[in-house]
């Protein structure tokens, strides 16, 4: 229970109708969860406007309603609080409700098209290797110390974020890392959070279905940096053409990382192998269990964040060599006949390019690359032909298949991918919509020394078809296929 007056102090109301002297039993943004004493926040969503539910709450027991527009008829028992932006107010209220947990630990946010899960997870792992208690909010899973809390979003809604952060604080966590998706930044899911630092990994094509323009997508990511406070660090990848833009309007202390040029955190790749890489980080050599230039970027960001969090350099470097890849990211499987399969979460054109280049760097001209890839339904359609084209350009054989078709027809998604292929590429391509068959075909085609890339689903253990998640795991599938 909390006093309404105290709760709403932080949201700067424009106008209030009704009494502020009452107690609130919970804060909700879903009218279906309203109970006696609730504070309901009406948020304008992508499909419905939360304001349309206000008249239905007459007899619900709701104590107060935060909205951008008062309803035509007001109830004397309900307090109406008008704000400029209720999505922002929801974030701030969620923080207040849980006693501002983000101020009680050091929270690092990671944004960018690719590398968020990897970077955030490795910061969490690094903290734990150094003996701290830590938490994680990520696409794969949330963690309160060692307790796994399943998730189905990259960045949850503000009430969930703060509830999880509060549980981390309660468990004694001193650090937390989280992914900040562009959707979350745009929908203000992170409003009210106090970050100790922000990291920008890169910006390439994705999510055009939602953001419509690259500029809007960039702006969503930049808004996270713009919101960082003076006490925070803002760490950006300056090899990305949008890296410096992230720093333009932030009040945070600015830091850079690079594999190409002078930067606060500078990395060089000394040697790369299928099972690891030798890196030089600000002049110190370190062996890591990660492959690919893209992972060198992620590790440089992790190194930079670790130093900026005040962790001791030698300890950080030692821990660095003990970090292990995240589930479903460049995860290798070997067949008895001597070929390798890599299961990877590459689901954007840039990720497909990076992961294939990392594989080619190791196989050279020795082995063929067979790529199995699809694209998710009800998501960015423009990336489909590009993903196919880039995969074909870097593979000897391409098998186009289904990812999570969601409500779309898998065959149509595959056709949209095929549109990116020229005649020569088409001759090297098979389209097999049954993902299991596609993986089996790749395994049957592969010869000794060949590498199969199975891209797009990584850690996912389901295939989502028409709202139903059917069990499906690329890792299990390839192991079965190799046995067969």
Chain residues binding ligand ATP by CB under 6 A are: 112, 114-118, 139, 154, 179, 201-202, 294, 297-298, 329, 344-346, 350-351, 354-355, 458
456 counts as binding ligand API under rule CB under 6 A: yes
Instruction: For residue 435, state whether it binds Mg ion (rule: CB under 5 A).
Output: no
The distance of closest approach from Cβ of residue 348 to ligand API in the complex, given in angstroms and rounded to an integer, is 8
Give least dist CB 111 to Mg ion, A: 10
| Choice between 50 and 328, CB closer to ligand ATP | 328
**Computed from CA positions of residues 244, 247, 248, 253, in that sequence, does the dihedral angle turn out positive or negative?**
negative
Determine the 3-state secondary structure of 178 from DSSP: strand
Q: Cβ closer to ligand UAG: 50 or 374?
A: 50
- Binding partner of residue 32 among ligand UAG, ligand API, ligand ATP, none, CB cut-off 5 to 8 Å per kind: ligand UAG
For the four alpha carbons of 242, 244, 248 and 251, in that order, the dihedral sign comes to positive
**Contact between 76 and ligand UAG per CB under 6 A:** no
Binding mask 150-179 for Mg ion (x = CB under 5 A): ----x------------------------x
- Residues near 30 by beta carbon (within 8 Å), at least 6 away in sequence: none
Instruction: Extract the tokens encoding 39.
Output: 């504070």
Nearest to 42 by CA among 62, 25, 23: 62
Least distance (Å) between residue 173 CB and ligand ATP:
21
Distances (CA, A) of 18 to 3, 15, 70, 165, 461: 14, 10, 12, 32, 50
| Nearest residue to the partner ligand API, using Cβ | 376
Q: CA–CA separation, 416 vs 386, rounded Å?
A: 10
CB of 463 to ligand UAG, least distance (A): 16
Residues with Cβ within 8 Å of 466's Cβ and at least 6 positions away in sequence, in order, are 405, 406, 407
Q: Which stretch binds ligand API (CB under 6 A): 5-13, 46-54, 241-249, 452-460?
A: 452-460
Residue 48 contact among ligand API, ligand ATP, ligand UAG, none, beta carbon within 5 to 8 Å by kind: ligand UAG
Instruction: Give 478's contacts (C-beta < 8 A, 6+ positions apart).
Output: 333, 341, 343, 439, 443, 452, 454
Cβ nearer to ligand ATP, comparing 350 with 473: 350
Task: Report what 157 binds from ligand UAG, Mg ion, ligand ATP, none; CB cut-off 5-8 Å by kind.
Answer: ligand UAG
Instruction: Decide whether 155 or 331 has the Cβ nearer to ligand UAG.
Output: 155
Q: 24 or 123, CB closer to Mg ion?
A: 123
Q: Which two tokens stand for residue 15?
A: 């106008």
Q: If DSSP codes are grouped into helix, strand and coil, which group holds residue 153?
A: coil
Binding at 298: pick from ligand UAG, ligand ATP, Mg ion, none (beta carbon under 5-8 Å per type) = ligand ATP
Q: Residue 289 CB: number of other CB atoms within 10 A?
A: 14
Q: How many Å apart are CA 320 and CA 302, to the nearest integer? A: 9
Strands ordered across the beta sheet of 15-17: 15-17, 79-82, 64-67, 38-41, 26-28
- How far is Cα 36 from Cα 237, in angstroms, rounded to an integer? 49
| Residue whose CB is less far from Mg ion, 179 or 206 | 179
Q: Does 404 bind ligand API (CB under 6 A)?
A: yes
Distance (Å, whole) CA 268 – CA 309: 22
Query: Minimum CB separation from ligand UAG for residue 412, in Å?
Result: 20
List of E strands, 274-374: 276-281, 284-288, 331-334, 340-344, 369-373
Contacts to ligand API from residues 323-382, by CB under 6 A: 347, 376, 379
Shortest distance in whole angstroms from residue 252 CB to ligand API: 26
**Residue 155 or residue 250: which is nearer to ligand UAG going by CB?**
155
Give the number of other Cβ atoms within 10 Å of residue 293's Cβ.
15
For 416-462, give the DSSP string: HHHTT--HHHHHTEEE--SHHHHHHHHHHH--TT-EEEEES-TT--E
Tell me how crowded residue 6 is: count the other CB atoms within 10 A of its CB: 12
**Under DSSP, is residue 340 helix (H, G, I), strand (E, B) or coil?**
strand
Is 189 one of the binding residues for ligand API (CB under 6 A)? no
Q: Which residue number, 141 or 269, has a Cβ lying nearer to ligand API?
A: 141
For position 142 contacting ligand API by CB under 6 A, the verdict is no
In the block, residue with structure tokens 């499909």: 47
Contact between 121 and ligand API (CB under 6 A)?
no
Residue 102 binding ligand UAG, by CB under 6 A: no
Which residues contribute to the site for ligand UAG (CB under 6 A)? Answer: 29-32, 43, 45-48, 50, 53, 139, 153-155, 157, 181, 183-184, 187, 189
Which residues contribute to the site for Mg ion (CB under 5 A)? Answer: 116-117, 139, 154, 179
Which residues contribute to the site for ligand API (CB under 6 A)? Answer: 139, 154, 347, 376, 379, 403-404, 456-457, 460
């Amino acid at each position: 229970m909390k006093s309404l007056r105290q709760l709403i102090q932080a949201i700067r109301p424009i106008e209030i109708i009704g009494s502020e002297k009452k107690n609130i039993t919970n804060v909700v943004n879903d009218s279906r969860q309203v109970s006696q004493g609730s504070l309901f926040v009406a948020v304008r969503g992508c499909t419905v406007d939360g304001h349309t539910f206000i008249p239905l709450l007459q007899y619900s027991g709701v104590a107060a309603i935060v909205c951008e527009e008062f309803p035509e008829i007001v109830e004397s028992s309900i307090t109406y609080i008008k704000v400029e932006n209720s999505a922002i107010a929801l974030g701030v209220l969620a923080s207040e409700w849980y006693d501002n947990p983000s101020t009680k630990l050091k929270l690092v946010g990671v944004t960018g098209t690719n590398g968020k899960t990897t970077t955030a997870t490795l910061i969490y792992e690094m903290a734990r290797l150094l003996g701290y208690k830590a938490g994680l909010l990520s696409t794969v899973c949330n963690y309160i110390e060692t307790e796994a809390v399943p998730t189905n979003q990259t960045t949850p809604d503000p009430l969930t974020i703060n509830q999880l952060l509060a549980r981390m604080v309660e468990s004694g966590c001193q650090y937390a890392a989280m992914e900040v998706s562009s959707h979350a930044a745009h929908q203000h899911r992170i409003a009210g959070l106090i970050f100790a630092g922000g990291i920008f990994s890169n910006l390439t094509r994705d999510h055009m279905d939602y953001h419509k323009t690259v500029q809007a997508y960039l702006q969503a990511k930049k808004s996270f940096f713009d919101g960082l406070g003076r006490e925070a660090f803002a760490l950006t990848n300056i090899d990305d053409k949008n890296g410096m833009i992230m720093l333009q309007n932030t009040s945070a202390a600015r830091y850079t990382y690079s594999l190409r040029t002078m930067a606060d955190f500078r990395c060089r790749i000394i040697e790369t192998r299928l099972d690891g890489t030798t890196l030089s980080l600000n002049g110190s050599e370190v062996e890591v269990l990660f492959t690919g230039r893209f992972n060198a970027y992620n590790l440089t960001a992790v190194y930079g964040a670790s130093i900026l969090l005040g962790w001791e350099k030698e300890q950080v470097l030692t821990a660095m060599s003990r970090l292990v890849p995240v589930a479903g990211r460049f995860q290798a499987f070997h067949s008895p006949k001597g070929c390798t399969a890599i299961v990877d979460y590459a689901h954007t054109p840039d990720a497909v390019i990076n992961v294939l280049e990392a594989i080619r760097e190791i196989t050279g001209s020795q082995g063929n690359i067979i790529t199995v890839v699809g694209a998710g339904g009800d998501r960015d359609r423009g990336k489909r032909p590009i993903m196919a084209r880039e995969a074909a350009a870097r593979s000897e054989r391409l098998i186009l298949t289904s990812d999570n078709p969601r409500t779309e027809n898998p065959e149509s998604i595959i056709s949209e991918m095929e549109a990116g292929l020229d005649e020569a590429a088409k001759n090297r391509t098979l389209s097999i919509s049954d993902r299991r068959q596609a993986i089996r075909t790749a395994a049957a085609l592969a010869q000794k020394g060949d590498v199969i890339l199975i891209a797009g689903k990584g850690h996912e253990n389901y295939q989502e078809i028409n709202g139903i998640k059917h069990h499906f795991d690329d890792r299990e599938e390839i192991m079965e296929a190799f046995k067969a």
